[in-house]
Structure 1
Amino acid sequence: MTCGFLKFVVGQFAPVLAGLALHFVPVAFYLIPIHGVAPFKMKTRVQASFINVSPGAMFLCTAAQKQGTRYRPTALDRETKREVILEMHRLETLSRIAMIVIAVIAVVAALSQVESLLAPVVLALVVGIVLSPISDAWEKRGLSPVWGALTSLVISLMIAVLLVLVIQPVVSELMRQAPKVMDDMRSTIIHMRHMFQGIQDASKEVSDAITPATDGAKDGGGNGDKSAVPDAKDLVMLAPSIIAQALIYVGALFFFQLSRGEIYNWIAKHLAEPSSRGATAARLRKAETRVSRYFLTITVVNGGLGLAVGVAMQLIGLPNAPLWGLVAFLINYILYLGPAALIIALGFAGVATFDGVRVILPPLIYIVLNATEAQFVTPAAIGRQMRLNPLLVFLSLTFGIWLWGPLGGIVAIPLLLWALVLTNSLPDPKSEPEQKLEAD
């Protein structure tokens, strides 16, 4: 009797109980954390109740269906479901951003760890892209690509040797003149202290800060020079690493020049959709052509700047004027940071060579010549559409130097330009007249 009465009650009230349970399950999740994990928002518990349905709720839904009733979601349920979907999309976006950040950190750490292996390879690829017109010229004449690869290799090695031969005497001269420069700076500061008595305290602090360094240079000048210049033991220890990196560079440059077309086709085949493989390969070749054309034009401009600097330094009587012109030509490839370093070096050379107001002539002349080149000559030569964003240039240089030192600064600008051209971030000067006609 009792069992029959219970069955009757359950049969009559099961649909009602199921509906009440489904309506109150979200409220229960406001108070009870899901699976023992407290959500970061109270609303998330309501949202999670529609995703993580408990076995009891599933039983109630099944009981309602067996009794021939159908649960109809209310407007509140539909709104909550929409919020759940929006929350899931937001969490998915945040997870993607977190994965990208983690991937970038991992890539940067890997690049830093494999510097000795990857840096010469990247340098070889950059030089190969810049010197690609040489290989193309040999191939157009019907000769083997080997000749183009060998020519590019010889030219790059000659430039490297020339760079070492030019920089070494200048650096040695600056190091030799360092004690004299410090003495001249100390004398200048003392003279300024006598001229401006009103700033005696500030000038005294500067003089006290410089005097110990000057005395140390006087007392231990020979020891300082010996510690600054690597001795034979240091060179012997560094020789295997330098030779290994040079061999990696030579091999990577030669084989890249030998098989550029095959590499581009392989990249297009494996990294692009089947319908856009031809366009991807053509874009890679177009980026290579524009980068090489850009650096060929910049080489001519830098050559003119170096010639002007050399002549100007000769006219004012600065020693080794041709070397300074050659340094100005080479260092101008490193935008912003290269000229800034040369201004400092010319300032030291002026202090070491001249007296009085003439000490500022070398850096001042170079600033005027460099500003003229940057504001007038370069835009006229390469067009304003190929001018790079100064912030991107500065950040890429900073990142490259921080990651791989001077070598990173050398490859930063070519890689940045190649990436911008490859992603169509720089307009094509040939297509610019056509775009103007279409706009008209």
Structure 2
Amino acid sequence: MSESSAETAPPVEWSIPRGLIVLLSLGAAVVTIGGLKAFSGIVGPVFLALMLTIAVQPIQTWVRRKGWPAWLGMAAALVAVIAILFGIGGALALSAVQLASLLPEYGDKLNELLDHGRDWLSSVGVSSDQIHKALSGIDMGKAVGIIEELVGGVLGVFSNLFFVVALLLFMAVDGMTMDHRLSIVARERPAIAQALEGFVHGTRKYLIVSTVFGAIVAVIDGGALWLMGVPLPILWALLSFITNYIPNIGFVIGVIPPALLALLDSGPVLMIWVIVVYSVINFVIQSIIQPKFVGDAVGLGVTITFLSLVFWAWVIGALGALLAIPLTLLVKALLFDVDPTTRWADVLIGAPIDQKPAPRKESGKHAAADTAMDKE
């Protein structure tokens, strides 16, 4: 072969087989998930602070539009989010103390209920050995432990307030220049800026919708429990408000403690009424009305929503369950939305087409950049 032909021959292209790319991606995902789980005590509070910063960022934007100093907007946003944190955390802590002092009074009531249960099982022909096996493991300590564990999981969300508040302070300071930074990113990498903007927009809408419906559910549930005479209705109303951020099964978690307390306080009839009232209220609001607004806000399908709840609760814990939707939106933005060639995945993981939010109008620079990336 002559030197001229060797010089003009096209270079040999080398590419990684698609199967190997899939295996490498899965391995990287396993390592990443393991790291997130190992540092869940840090990742959870950091992301909580990020969500709260996103929620109150409009306060800083509004202050700047008024022409007021940037530090004033930072201070107003920080005060608002700290008031929210300490208000909810303080109310939950106070109610939990009341609950801990109230539960030991129901020991005799539980034993009485167990005796009635044994008598009823005997009347329907169940042998004493079977009754003993079925009821031997039930005692007041375990019932108290179940309730305290459920409430303690919620209180754990607010247990590291100092770390979260410190993060909020630093993020609020960065928030004063965040618009300028994003404008630079939009000029240099329009697709990345658009993906981050979509994440912030969807997260803020989700937080607004969940907060509004959570407040409605909390007021109705608390009022119903107060009318039925269930102890500590304010605590259970706050629990309903917080568990409203947990998709799909939030109300199931929220109904267990008041139902158990109603059983110990007034017997099975009141417990059944609590379950029925909670089911009706929460089914109508959380299963029929709210999903329509949440679907419009985040564009995630029901299956993805439920799987994200299970996954993030396993990785991060209680905070993962509360922040499952925003965490999934962030992963979606980083893995799919940053690249126009992978946005087809929205069709598979998103909400039904008639529930998808209307696409935002893109600027000429964004559209030109996406077209260029598509050609590449």
Whether the TM-score (by the shorter chain) exceeds 0.5 is: yes
What SS does the aligned partner of 1:95 have?
helix
Question: Aligned partners of 2:112 and 2:306: how far apart in 1?
Answer: 33
1:316, 1:329 → 2: CA distance?
19
- What does residue 410 of structure 1 align with? 322
Q: What is the distance in 2 between the residues matched to 1:109 and 1:287?
A: 24
The structural deviation recorded for 1:370 is: 0.5
1:429 and 2:357 correspond: yes
Question: 1:92 — aligned with what?
Answer: 17
Partner of 2:163 in structure 1?
A: 245
* TM-aligned CA deviation for residue 309 of structure 1: 0.9
Contact 2:313–2:319 (CA under 8 A) maintained in structure 1? yes
The equivalent of 1:296 in structure 2 is 208
Q: Distance in 2 between matches of 1:329 and 1:243?
A: 19
1:306–1:325 Cα contact (<8 Å) kept = yes
Structure 1 residues 68-87: aligned runs within 5 Å: none
Using the TM superposition, give the Cα deviation of residue 200 of structure 1 relative to its aligned residue in structure 2, in angstroms.
5.4
Residue 111 of structure 2: which of 183, 191, 194 is its match?
183
CA, structure 1 residues 174+146, in 2 after alignment: closer, same or farther (shift >3 Å)?
A: same
Q: Distance in 1 between matches of 2:206 and 2:120?
A: 47
1:149 aligns to 2:81 (yes or no)? no
In the alignment, which residue of structure 1 is the partner of 2:133?
Answer: 205
CA positional deviation for 1:360: 1.9
Equivalent residues of 1:174, 1:349 under 8 A apart: no
In 1: Cα distance, 2:319 partner to 2:240 partner: 18
Per-residue deviation at 1:378? 1.6
Residues 273-422 of structure 1 correspond to what in structure 2 (within 5 A)? 277-379=189-291, 381=293, 386=298, 388-420=300-332
Assess, with a 3 A threshold, how the Cα gap between structure 1 residues 200 and 289 changes in structure 2: closer, same or farther.
same
Query: Which runs of structure 2 are paired with 1:261-276 in the superposition (5 Å)?
Result: 261-265=179-183, 268=186
Matches within 5 A, 1:18-33: none
Equivalent residues of 2:218, 2:241 under 8 A apart: yes
Q: Deviations over 1:221-265 (max 9, x none)?
A: 9xx9xx99xxxxxxxxx9xx9476235422343134223324434
Indicate if the aligned counterparts of 1:184 and 1:352 stay in contact, CA closer than 8 A.
no
Q: What letter is aligned with 1:261?
A: D
Contact 1:132 1:292 in 2 (8 A): no
- Deviation of 1:187 after TM superposition, in Å, equals 3.1
* Rounded Cα–Cα distance in structure 1 between residues aligned with 2:80 and 2:295: 27
CA positional deviation for 1:197:
1.6
- Taking a change above 3 Å as real, the CA distance of residues 385 and 188 of structure 1, as seen in their structure-2 partners, is farther
1:260 is aligned to 2:178: yes
> CA separation of 1:369/1:387 partners in 2, compared to 1, >3 Å: closer, same or farther?
farther
Looking at structure 1, the residues matched to 278 and 323 of structure 2 have their Cα atoms a distance apart, in angstroms, of 25
1:160 aligns with 85
Give the 3 Å change call, closer, same or farther, for CA 307–103 of structure 1 in structure 2: same
- Residue 185 to residue 252, structure 1, CA distance change in 2 (3 Å): farther
Q: Displacement of 1:134 after TM fit?
A: 2.3
Please give the secondary structure, in 2, of the residue aligned with 1:351: helix
Determine which structure has more spread, i.e. the larger CA radius of gyration.
1
Structure 2 gaps, min length 5: 2-12, 150-155, 338-342, 361-376
Preserved CA contact (<8 Å) 1:396 1:416: yes
CA shift digits 1:401-435 (9 cap, x unpaired) = 22222222222222224555783635653459xxx
> How has the CA–CA distance of structure 1 residues 260 and 191 changed in structure 2, closer, same or farther, with 3 Å as cutoff?
farther
**How big is each residue's C-alpha offset from its partner over 1:87-145, in whole Å with a ceiling of 9 and x where there is no partner?**
x98x8223212211221122122223333443332222222223332222222222344
What is the CA distance between 1:394 and its match in structure 2?
2.5
The percent of aligned pairs where both chains have the same amino acid is 21
Q: What residue identity is the alignment partner of 1:400?
A: W
SS of residue paired to 1:197: coil
Letter in 1 for 2:178: R
The number of residues matched between the two structures is 320
Q: Distance in 2 between matches of 1:156 and 1:95?
A: 46
Which of residues 25, 38, 48 is equivalent to 1:113? 38
Distance 1:195 1:359, change over 3 A: farther
Residue number in structure 2 paired with 1:133: 58
TM-score w.r.t. length of structure 1: 0.62
For the structure 1 residues 132 and 202, does the alpha-carbon distance in structure 2 shift closer, same or farther, using more than 3 Å as the test? farther
Query: Structure 2 matches for 1:56-71, cutoff 5 A?
Result: none
TM-score, normalization: structure 2?
A: 0.71
Partner SS for 1:375: helix
Give 1:345 shift. Answer: 0.7
Q: Which moved more, 1:197-206 or 1:345-354?
A: 197-206
- What's the CA shift for 1:293? 2.5
The answer on whether the counterparts of 1:121 and 1:248 sit within 8 Å (CA) in structure 2 is no
